[in-house]
Amino acid sequence: MCLRLNICFSFQTLKAVKCPTDELSLTNCAVISDKEQHVTVYNGKGEFVFTLKKHPEVSSGSIAFSLPQVPDPPLQFDKSKDCISVMTMEIDFLQKKFIDSSPFDSDKMASELVQHFDNQAFTVGQQLVFSFADKLFSLVVKEIEAMDAGILKGERQIGLLLANSQVIFEKSENSAVVLIGKSKTREARQSIISPDWNFEKMGIGGLDKEFSDIFRRAFASRVFPPDIIEQMGCKHVKGILLFGPPGCGKTLMARQIGKMLKAREPKIVNGPEILNKYVGESEANIRKLFADAEEEQKRLGANSGLHIIIFDEIDAICKQRGSMAGSTGVHDTVVNQLLSKIDGVEQLNNILVIGMTNRPDLIDEALLRPGRLEVKMEIGKTFWSPIMLSRTFYFERIPGKFSIEEISLISQRQIMNFLVKSSVILHVNSIRVILYSQKSNSLIVYFSVGTPQAFGTNQEDYASYIMNGIVRWGHPVSEVLEDGELLVQQTKNSDRTPLVSVLLEGPANSGKTALAAKISEDSEFPFIKICSPDKMIGFSETAKCQAIKKIFEDAYKSQLSCVVVDDIERLLDYVPIGPRFSNLVLQALLVLLKKPPPKGRKLLIIGTTSRKDVLQEMEMLDAFSTTIHIPNISGGEQLVRALELLDSFQEKERSAIANKVKGQTLWIGIKKLLMLIEMAAQMDPNNRVDKFLSLLTEEGG
C-alpha cells in the first residue's frame, strides 16, 4: 500500500517526535500508531526511505524518529530486484568522549548489522545509530549497489537490506575507529618514502651497505598497504639500535632517515636530557615523547603517519636495571616506562624508535628483544681520502685516511675560504691541512692526522717508534719487510684467513718494534693500534686485560685492522727471578690472539718479543700464524752499510772503521749502534773513530 506523506499523512498533519524508547531508536525505523509499512522522509538534505513500526506510546497524529526528520511518500519493494547487493557505510563513534582504541571486527559487525536491520530500506546519505560490542556508532550510507541497477537511477538511490546483502564499513574522515577484518575498505595508502628523496644528497656516503640493511630490515614492511600487512599477520619494526665508535656517523644517519621517510618531524633527544631530579618527571618526559603518536593512532588507526623518536646516548637512561647500587632507582623506572610505551599493553604501531650508543653492553637486555629495539646495526668507521681539483673538493673511499666526521668539519668550513697558495699550512681545530701545488690550478689536499687519536694510532705515535727511519743494513731487514708485505696482502685478499698473526722475535735492540710499526704503517689499514706496555704503567692485572681487550674490540669494528702487540714479555710482567708473570694477562692474550674477527672483517696482528724461549714455555708461540727472526748486525760489511745509510762519520773515517772490523764477528743491535754513534759524535773529531771502536768492543761487537 502506497501513501503520500509529506506534511500530512492520509490528509492528516503528522508531528515529528522523539522515539519513545532507546531500543526503538536503534532500529532505524519511523514509529507511528498505525500499521507497519515503508515511508519516504525528507529532511531538507535529501529523501530517505524508512520502515514504519507501531508503538502504543506514539500518539495519533505523530511520527517518531531517532533523528528529527520530516516525512514524504511511502514505497513498496520487490524483493526479487530491489534488494541491496553491497552497501558501503561510513562509521564513527556516536559520541567522541567514548572513543575506544580497541580494534573492532568488521566481519562480525556487518553480520550483526544485517541481522538487526533485515528487510529494512536504506537510502544513500541516510544516517542511523548502531550498537556493537557495547559501543554506539554513527553510520552514514555512502554507496549502494543493487541487484537491479535501475533503482539507482535518478535522484535517489534506494534499496532493501536482506540477509544475503553485503555490508562494507569505511572510516569517516578523522574517525578514531580501528577496524579489522575483510568487511572494510582499504584506506588511502600513504607512501612512506618521500617522493623527492635522493640518496646522493643525504650526506651519508660510505655507509651505503649499512643504510641498505636498515631499510631492508626496518622499513620493508611499511612500504606495503596496512591491509596486506594485517592479513599477513606481520608487525612493523618499532626500534633500531645504531652502535659504533664515536664519530662514525650514527647521529647523522638517524637524522637522514627521518628526512628520507614521509614521516612527522623526528623528535631528537639526548639521553641525559630525559633525567629530572623531581620524582616522576623523568617518566613524564618519556610519556611526552610518545603523546603525539598515541593521539594520532587513536584518531587514524593504521593510517596514522610514522612518528620517529631518536635517542642519542641511549645508554645514559637505559642501563641494566638493578646495576646501579645505592641509586634511587630512577634509571629503572625510566627503562620500565620506555618498555611499556614501545611494546606494552597499549602498544603503538606508528612509531620508530632509534637509539644510538657506543656502549651497547650497558643497555638493558629487555630493550633489545624482538618487538623493541630489535634491529641492531653496527656503524663502523668509514675512512676517506680527500682530493681537491680546481678548488672543488672530492672525497674517495680508500683505505687509511679520514673518518666521516673529520670530512664534515673541513667541508663545512670550506677550509676557511683560504687563498690557494703553494705549500700553505692551516690549522683547523688541530687538524693540519697541507696543500701542494701540482699543476696549474690543480691541487691535492692531505691531512697530517691519519686517523682520529681516539680510534687509531696517529702520526706522533709512529714518529716515536720510527724515529730514525728503517735502516736497511742488509738482506735480513729487506726480507723482514718483504715478508711483512706478503702478510699484509694475505690479510687483505684472502677470505680463508681473516686472522693473520706474526711474531717478530730477536735480541734486544734489534729494531723489532720499528719494523712492526713500519709494516703496519705501509699496510695503510684504516685501523692501526699499537698495544704497548708503556701505555699501561701502573695498571692492575684486571685493568691491563680490559685495556688490551678494548684495543681488539675496536679493531673488530673496522673492515681492515692491524694491532701491534709490542714487547709481549713486558705486558706479561715477566721477570726471570722465580720466574714470575701475570697468568691473567697471558690467558687474555692467548684468547685474543686466536679469536677470529667478525664476518666481513680482517685483522693482522704483529707481536714482538726478545724472549722467544719464554713464550715457548708459556705455549704462546702456537698462537701466532708464523714467526720471523730479527737478527743483530753480525758482520763488518753490514756495519759499514749501516754507517753509510745513517750518514755517520766522514768517508775516510768509515774506511778506517771498515779496515778495523774487517773479518771480525760482530753482534750489535741497530738501536744500540745508533746510541754508540751519537756518543762518539760528541768526541773530538781526531778521536771519535777510536772512541767508537772502543765502545763497539765493549758491547761485544
Pick the closest to residue 227 from 267, 275, 260, 179 (CA basis).
Answer: 179
Q: Which three cell numbers stand for residue 592?
A: 685474543
Q: Is 312 noted as a catalytic residue in this protein?
A: no
Q: Which three cell numbers stand for residue 565?
A: 702487540
Q: Is 594 noted as a catalytic residue in this protein?
A: yes
Instruction: Indicate which residue of 491, 566, 602, 609 is catalytic.
Output: 566
Q: Which three cell numbers stand for residue 520?
A: 703496519
With beta carbons less than 8 A apart as the criterion, state whether 218 and 375 touch: yes
Quick one: CA dihedral 672, 673, 674, 676, positive or negative?
positive
Phi/psi for 378 (5° steps) reads -85, 125
With beta carbons less than 8 A apart as the criterion, state whether 377 and 242 touch: yes
CA dihedral 90, 95, 101, 104 (to 10 degrees): -50
With beta carbons less than 8 A apart as the criterion, state whether 609 and 567 touch: yes
With beta carbons less than 8 A apart as the criterion, state whether 574 and 541 touch: no
Q: Which three cell numbers stand for residue 214?
A: 636498515
Count of residues in the chain: 701
Instruction: Indicate which residue of 92, 312, 315, 567 is catalytic.
Output: 567
Pick the closest to residue 628 from 502, 440, 471, 464 (CA basis).
Answer: 502
Spatial neighbors of 601 by CB under 8 A, at least 6 apart, are 498, 556, 557, 558, 559, 560, 561
Pick the closest to residue 168 from 84, 250, 278, 232 (CA basis).
Answer: 84
Q: Is 566 noted as a catalytic residue in this protein?
A: yes
Instruction: Indicate which residue of 251, 513, 608, 609 is catalytic.
Output: 513
Instruction: Indicate which residue of 45, 54, 594, 595 is catalytic.
Output: 594
Measured distance CA(202)–CA(213) in Å, rounded? 16
Measured distance CA(42)–CA(69) in Å, rounded? 7
Instruction: Indicate which residue of 184, 341, 381, 512 is catalytic.
Output: 512
CA distances to 204, 410, 493 from 251, in Å: 11, 18, 32
With beta carbons less than 8 A apart as the criterion, state whether 87 and 145 touch: yes
Q: Could you tell me the end-to-end alpha-carbon distance of the chain, in angstroms, rounded to an integer?
A: 132
Amino acid letter, residue 286: I
Q: Is 142 noted as a catalytic residue in this protein?
A: no
The set of catalytic residues is 512-513, 566-567, 594, 671
